[in-house]
Structure 1
């Protein structure tokens, strides 16, 4: 490329830029949510025009050509935005899943429950944990502990109330105790 043709290309580009910048910016502003995005679209459009200067039509047709380029740049911009939004949503969902599955978030509650369980009598603690955590029915707990099912039901009721009193002040509003403590006792088959 000779110096003369390089200068001709620059001069023509400057003229095309000066006469088409405002209309292209208005075009982009009407189609973008953010002014910064519109500015990026116009900048990208003129970058394409600079790189493909040899393809630019005559001055009478150049504005239409630039609108076509801007339209394709906008389409790419919108597709990129949609991909970014979908990726962001997937990332936010993943973070919610990780946070929900994070056992560290339950540590203070687990420690409070363990401390409260330790303050229960041995039989009450065993009745409660066998029923709630192991999922045994009162008659099964009775068999394990070698007591009557009536004793188990009485102890279970008392143990839940006592445990609720021990942990509810530290963990949550009155009446709320961890799910692990309020899980319904399995119904005894009759």
Structure 2
């Protein structure tokens, strides 16, 4: 084993438990392993930047930044879910319970789409790119992208129909579904 690997292994063995506990106090248990792995990946890539004698505070700083990135990613995912659900031809929610159920349905439906359909919808809804910009990202013509976007939205609507537990609104309530321009 070369010297760098040996020093990194010592760093890992010495501080892994501390970093694990630091992260575990800040997020749900199921995500701790991924975040800790990312912290030590950064430490490996930037091993020359790890201060000798005070590696633990440096690792905590990296963990704080990784946690911030994770939180930002979760926030973006939630915003994406809401934007996709807010398309004009999506469900219009009546109350908070309907909104929560609708968000869950969008997440489930979105997860059932192909990776290609998910990427197309992310580029438009999450990254807020125009069709021309998204087409450039994918190396396609604008017309080809527009057709793929149309099809991806249709498949998402079909998946939403398959996952939703549609409850008929009470006569006094506003309609809970709208199919404008569908």
TM-score normalised over the length of structure 1 = 0.46
Bigger relative contact order (CA 8 A; separation at least 6) = 2
